[in-house]
Amino acid sequence: MLPFRVVYHEDYDLHLGAHVFPSQKFRLIRDALVSEGVAGARDFLVPESAENVDVLRVHSDAWVNKLLHDKLTMTERMRLEIPSSPETVRAFWLAAGGSILAGQRALEDGFAANLTGGFHHAYADHGEGFCMLHDVAIAIRRLQADGAIRTAIVVDTDVHQGNGTAAIFSGDASVFSLSIHQENNYPLPKELSDLDIGLEDRTGDDEYLVRLEKGLVASLEKFQADIAFYVGGADPFLEDQLGGLAVTIDGLKARDRLVFEHLRKRGIPIAMTLAGGYARRVEDTVRIHVNAIRVAAEIARGESRSAPA
């Protein structure tokens, strides 16, 4: 049904119980894609957990060992802001494996989505803000190690700055980090991305889209990317509990279309991840991500229709 593959594992759920992070959203998005006829069973791929050799291209031995052997200090647990359990740790390893697979499929099919991931607050040696491992960085390093890509751009539209991404790829000319976010929000202080677009509180659709397009076009003009990882957070939404922007559901759909069209126009494969989304009604978060998949499918089909048979 879809012109690309969607990566999903039933153990993506972080098992957080009553928490502002609705980690049941991964399953809800998958179910909505199927029940609305957007995707069929054959469109889904089941990832393997990332191998430790892949994780260790990004993260320190010490951090990986602490996660695997449940040895986090109290300070480390507090920075994560989520409880750590074997199921949660496994879900992050699966998310990283899923982003590797989405990257590989994007190189083949032009587009792929991982229905989790975008854990952009994880650093090499610690986790924070609900993020234990940086799945996108792990995927980029794996694709580079395989010789499948040389360069990558991370386009991060989550309402919170991609501080882990900026820190991990700081000084690395092979990866360009673009983050458009609410300036006056977590994380404080911020890291330096290759391009940061810090927005005022309550920025709405029109200004959001203008600033994003300007920044994205400028980035793509100066940086040749072999792949784009899209960290497409749902939390710039005006009813988000952890966000302070005022972008509507239609505005977010226009955002995703804008990002996908500019990348596709330049022939850059796109691997999409979800990142944050804390709408008061979880169905709004689900709707925003389902819309992203619908928009990607429309664009991919439009291109294939115009191609010679």
**Distance of alpha carbon 240 from alpha carbon 81, whole angstroms:** 18
Binding mask 10-49 for Zn ion (x = CB under 5 A): ----------------------------------------
For position 256 contacting Zn ion by CB under 5 A, the verdict is no
Specify burial of residue 107 (Cβ count, 10 A radius: 0-12, 13-18, 19+): middle
Pick from 160, 257, 264, 294 the residue near Zn ion by CB under 5 A.
160
8 Å CB contact between 284 and 123: no
**Distance of alpha carbon 261 from alpha carbon 253, whole angstroms:** 12
Q: Which stretch binds Zn ion (CB under 5 A): 19-27, 251-259, 272-280, 293-301?
A: 272-280
Report the residue number, 144 or 285, with the smaller CB distance to Zn ion: 285
Q: Which stretch binds Zn ion (CB under 5 A): 11-19, 158-166, 175-183, 254-262?
A: 158-166
How far is residue 86 from each of residues 22, 71, 151, 242, measured CA to CA in Å? 18, 12, 34, 26
How far is residue 14 from each of residues 19, 64, 86, 218, measured CA to CA in Å? 10, 18, 10, 37
Q: Which helix (H) or strand (E) holds 7?
A: strand 5-7
8 Å CB contact between 279 and 234: yes
**Distance of alpha carbon 261 from alpha carbon 298, whole angstroms:** 11
Pick from 13, 54, 158, 256 the residue near Zn ion by CB under 5 A.
158
Report the residue number, 255 or 264, with the smaller CB distance to Zn ion: 255
Q: Which stretch binds Zn ion (CB under 5 A): 29-37, 59-67, 172-180, 276-284?
A: 276-284
Q: Which stretch binds Zn ion (CB under 5 A): 52-60, 70-78, 139-147, 235-243?
A: 235-243
Partners of residue 246 on adjacent β-strands: 204
Least gap, CB of 160 to Zn ion (angstroms): 4
8 Å CB contact between 116 and 12: yes
Report the residue number, 158 or 196, with the smaller CB distance to Zn ion: 158
Count of other CB atoms within 10 angstroms of residue 30:
20
Least gap, CB of 235 to Zn ion (angstroms): 4
Least gap, CB of 234 to Zn ion (angstroms): 9
Query: Tokens 């294939």 appear where?
Result: 304
Query: Tokens 């990882």 appear where?
Result: 229
Report the residue number, 54 or 158, with the smaller CB distance to Zn ion: 158
Q: Which stretch binds Zn ion (CB under 5 A): 64-72, 104-112, 165-173, 233-241?
A: 233-241
Least gap, CB of 286 to Zn ion (angstroms): 16
For position 235 contacting Zn ion by CB under 5 A, the verdict is yes
**Distance of alpha carbon 131 from alpha carbon 61, whole angstroms:** 17
Starting at the edge strand found earlier in the chain, the sheet holding 228-231 runs 44-45, 5-7, 111-114, 270-273, 228-231, 152-156, 175-182, 195-199
**Distance of alpha carbon 228 from alpha carbon 272, whole angstroms:** 8
Which residue has the closest beta carbon to Zn ion?
276
Pick from 8, 141, 276, 287 the residue near Zn ion by CB under 5 A.
276
Least gap, CB of 196 to Zn ion (angstroms): 15
Least gap, CB of 122 to Zn ion (angstroms): 13
Q: Which stretch binds Zn ion (CB under 5 A): 30-38, 131-139, 218-226, 273-281?
A: 273-281
Least gap, CB of 24 to Zn ion (angstroms): 17
Which residues sit at the interface with Zn ion, rule CB under 5 A? 158, 160, 233, 235, 276
